[in-house]
Amino acid sequence: MSTSEGRAAGRGDRARYTQLLDHAGRTTVGLCAMPGRAGARPWGSGVLIAPGWVLTCAHVLAASDGRRRDTGPDGVFGVTFGGRVVPARLAYDLSRPGPDAGPAAARADLALVRLLDPETEHPCAWLSDQPATLLEDAYIFRGHDRPDAGTEGDGAASGDGDASRDGGASGDGCASGRAAAGRRGERAVRDPGDVRGPRDGRTVPERGDGPGGPRVPGEGRGAPTGPRAPTTPVDPFIAVRFGARDARGLQFGSDVRVTPGASGGPLLDCDRGEVVGIVKGRHQQDHVGLAVPVTALRGLGPEHLVAGAEGLGPDPYHALMSLHDRWHWAGQDLGSAVGPTWFDAQHAIMAGRGRLWGVQERLQALDLLARLPAPRDPLVVEAAVGEVLERGERPGAWSLRTWRDGHGALYQGSDPYTELRAFVHYLRIVAQLTADEVRDVPGDEAAGVREQAARLAEFVQAKAVVLQPQDRRRIGPVRRRPRSVLVEFEPLFYDEGGQELFNWSVSEGYGQGQWLRVDVQESAGGVPFEQAREQVLRRLGGRLLRADGDAGPGARVRLEVAVPEGHWDTAAGQWEVAASPRRTARLRPVGPGRAVILRDQGRREQVDPAWLRRWQGLAAARELHALRIPPRPGTDARRGSAEAIWRLLETAGDGALPALCHTVADGFGRDAVGVALDTGFPAGLWPAHGHGEERDCDAGCEEFHRGVRELLQGSGGVARLPELVRQLRAKAAEAAEEGTHWARDLVLLYDDPEDPIPPLFTDRPQVSPR
């Protein structure tokens, strides 16, 4: 292709990308000392990426000897754009982690600059959420602060022989090849660290609307509002073709000249309409241009915060990208008369490509994801992406940290339908995981997270309607995953023979007192307790298996059994239920395989203050300890000792749990449990088959109390007790560990007042599992 043909092709590309290039140009800024300071010439470039934040290369803010630039008081320097010089300060330096960061801290030639005036209005560039691999049509930009760009250092990049007419420069953020060299054909290859700029500190008058693009709301306040000059006709962009990525980052062809002042500017992939890198310079040996991928920002952490700077909290990367995505969704405005947005430009480029997951869907999805808390672990994101893409291996090489990163990893070049299905599936998983994380958490903040997860779920359902039925079934709706199955025995009255009669129900629990009744035996006469238990056991196995399936792969929901006084010796951990839904399934004890707890049927929605206070004390206690009842062998265990038990329990500390070796079916043990409940104790331990009053404590009792002490001392908190007791039951059932047989019929009373059991019969609407 001849030089003239190349220029014509470049101008054709420019025509396709006019809106996009205009937006990118207006988000590119220059960095310099504040006016009035010696040597107030441009240091390099940067790009506005979120309200109040500029992304640049770290070396732009260092002099040639590697030291920090000469800045004003408290490290203040200037950011130039829109005819203004705005005070700013370095906030994060990814090239220099803090001294306590350790060798594993991420290092990249990137820095984040914070504008000191939070009211500064400005446009923001769109950062890619996916790694760049091949750049077939890309442009680089340079920030500058003067209208005559024909001086040294005022260019961005050029291709060899690019015959621009004069040395003029366009508005904020771009310069031509001719501007870089001053005359046609001169190469402007310099050391990437060379950031020499213009010889004075003059600023560009504000550029505004016209043929080149819209005005951003609030940009350039106080500037003249008369007619604006059109964008200069000089080619200010250089196409970067056949670029690739290697260990050094993004690289682009040797025919592109990276001129002084271009470092820190954005590298724009026009095919996708997004910034994929930050220009770094030119490699001195093979002369290829280099850029730092924007995905290197995923390494941003609190250890990169510069001393004395105001940061973004404990997870700055998540906070920064949330600001970025929410700004773009709000800026889209969907009805305002501010003119075309960055995404309008993207839509114009991608129109006709037949994508079902287009610019609008991506924009709204990333806004919804930005409103969710950060994932608790990056592996959760990788696992979600792996599930969607049906990859068996863990995709650790993807370096995914946030839900946004996972979204970007789904662009696999698939057909439009497969791509849409993948995004819908992924977002459903995210909505599910987020809802699960906060389902048991009280407070307004958690309620807000649940609301945002519900909004994401609604978005998923709306987008899933175009999927084929089998795909909708495979992905499924966002369901509230059960955490437990509750069996309640409700006493009715006594029959003529003095036998107590019961009704029963089975409910799935979702935390915080939210239940869905799934089975019930309601009759006018009721049945004896043993018969009610047998009725429950005939159906319980299948119900537990279904709840396990709804809870997620490999999950085992907890079994909770609520019984009234007189049945606190119910050994629910030894109940035998079907191990599979088949008719031929064998019966197996439920206790070794899942956590089983006992609850007091009398404690319901009305939470007693003493009960709540005791629970909060247990939850806050650094260490739990057993409160032996009676306190020592030989202590009076007759019925008349209830007053002594009252005094013992009322004066117990916050970390105390009652432990009884007596039977709790009647006599002293039954009274002791009643007193413990009346004094607010939410948890306790005893054997289902303890000894009666006719027998004093023996060596077996000492072994029981010693085992309980060891269990509580190493428990790590009351929340872990159900699982620790399950593990003990499993070891006792298998005789896997000597000295654990005492735990075979161990009963754990575990009454969480923040998750009270519901009334058995109520006219209130049941909670939906969705």
- Is residue 736 a part of any domain in this protein? yes
- d(C-alpha 144, C-alpha 171), whole Å: 9
Indicate the pLDDT class of residue 765, thresholds 50, 70 and 90.
Answer: very low
Same domain, 700 and 729: yes
Same domain, 411 and 518: no
| Range of weakest confidence among 240-249, 545-554, 729-738 | 240-249
Same domain, 467 and 509: no
What is the predicted pLDDT for the residue at 184? 23
Per the CB < 8 A criterion, the answer to whether 549 and 477 are in contact is no
In 3D space, the residue among 392, 426, 391 whose CA is nearest the CA of residue 410 turns out to be: 426
Same domain, 163 and 86: yes
| Range of weakest confidence among 195-199, 277-281, 658-662, 730-734 | 195-199
| Range of weakest confidence among 155-159, 187-191, 345-349, 461-465 | 187-191
What is the predicted pLDDT for the residue at 421? 93
- Is residue 754 a part of any domain in this protein? no
* End position of a domain, from candidates 475, 503, 521: 475
Same domain, 161 and 197: yes
What is the predicted pLDDT for the residue at 632? 58
Indicate the pLDDT class of residue 622, thresholds 50, 70 and 90.
Answer: confident
Per the CB < 8 A criterion, the answer to whether 615 and 621 are in contact is no
SS3 of 224-286: the string is: CCCCCCCCCCCCCCCEECCEEEECCEEEECCCEEECCCCCCCEEEECCCCEEEEEEEEECCCC
Same domain, 497 and 471: no
Same domain, 518 and 429: no
In 3D space, the residue among 184, 135, 124 whose CA is nearest the CA of residue 159 turns out to be: 184
What is the predicted pLDDT for the residue at 750? 96
Indicate the pLDDT class of residue 99, thresholds 50, 70 and 90.
Answer: low
Is the previous residue joined to 103 through a cis bond, with omega within 30 degrees of 0?
A: no
Q: Is the pLDDT of residue 459 over 90?
A: yes
Answer with the residue of higher pLDDT: 536 or 252. 536
- Is residue 14 a part of any domain in this protein? yes
Q: What is the mean pLDDT of residues 250-260?
A: 69
Same domain, 648 and 546: no
Q: What is the mean pLDDT of residues 171-181?
A: 30
Q: Is the pLDDT of residue 770 over 80?
A: no
Per the CB < 8 A criterion, the answer to whether 656 and 689 are in contact is no
Q: What is the mean pLDDT of residues 42-63?
A: 91
- Is residue 340 a part of any domain in this protein? no
CATH code of the domain covering residue 119 = 2.40.10.120
* End position of a domain, from candidates 445, 475, 505: 475
Indicate the pLDDT class of residue 660, thresholds 50, 70 and 90.
Answer: very high
What is the predicted pLDDT for the residue at 680? 93
Q: What percent of the chain has pLDDT over 90?
A: 33
What is the predicted pLDDT for the residue at 207? 31
Q: Are strands 289-293 and 249-252 parallel, antiparallel or unpaired?
A: antiparallel
Q: What is the mean pLDDT of residues 510-537?
A: 86
Same domain, 568 and 445: no
What is the predicted pLDDT for the residue at 332? 66
pLDDT in tens, 119-172: 899 999 999 988 776 666 778 888 764 433 332 333 333 333 332 222 222 333
- Max Cα separation, the chain? 112
What is the predicted pLDDT for the residue at 746? 93
Angle at 236 between CA 232 and CA 241, to 5 degrees: 150
Same domain, 414 and 561: no
- d(C-alpha 66, C-alpha 451), whole Å: 49
What is the predicted pLDDT for the residue at 451? 93
- Is residue 558 a part of any domain in this protein? yes
Indicate the pLDDT class of residue 423, thresholds 50, 70 and 90.
Answer: very high
| Range of weakest confidence among 146-155, 303-312, 321-330, 582-591 | 146-155
Q: What is the mean pLDDT of residues 653-682?
A: 91
Indicate the pLDDT class of residue 417, thresholds 50, 70 and 90.
Answer: very high
Same domain, 23 and 142: yes
What is the predicted pLDDT for the residue at 175? 32
Answer with the residue of higher pLDDT: 718 or 178. 718
Q: Is the pLDDT of residue 173 over 50?
A: no
Average pLDDT, rounded, for the chain = 76
What is the predicted pLDDT for the residue at 199? 29
Answer with the residue of higher pLDDT: 582 or 671. 671
* Domain enclosing residue 553, as ranges: 484-599
Indicate the pLDDT class of residue 247, thresholds 50, 70 and 90.
Answer: low
Residue 616 tokens read as: 């909060």
What is the predicted pLDDT for the residue at 726? 92
What is the predicted pLDDT for the residue at 204? 28
pLDDT in tens, 183-215: 222 222 223 333 333 323 222 222 333 323 333
Indicate the pLDDT class of residue 64, thresholds 50, 70 and 90.
Answer: low
The model scores a pTM over 0.75: no
- Is residue 609 a part of any domain in this protein? no
What is the predicted pLDDT for the residue at 254? 57
- Is residue 344 a part of any domain in this protein? no
Same domain, 421 and 504: no
- Is residue 604 a part of any domain in this protein? no
Return the DSSP state at 169.
-
Answer with the residue of higher pLDDT: 645 or 395. 645
Q: Considering its fold, how many domains does the chain have in total?
A: 4
Indicate the pLDDT class of residue 231, thresholds 50, 70 and 90.
Answer: very low
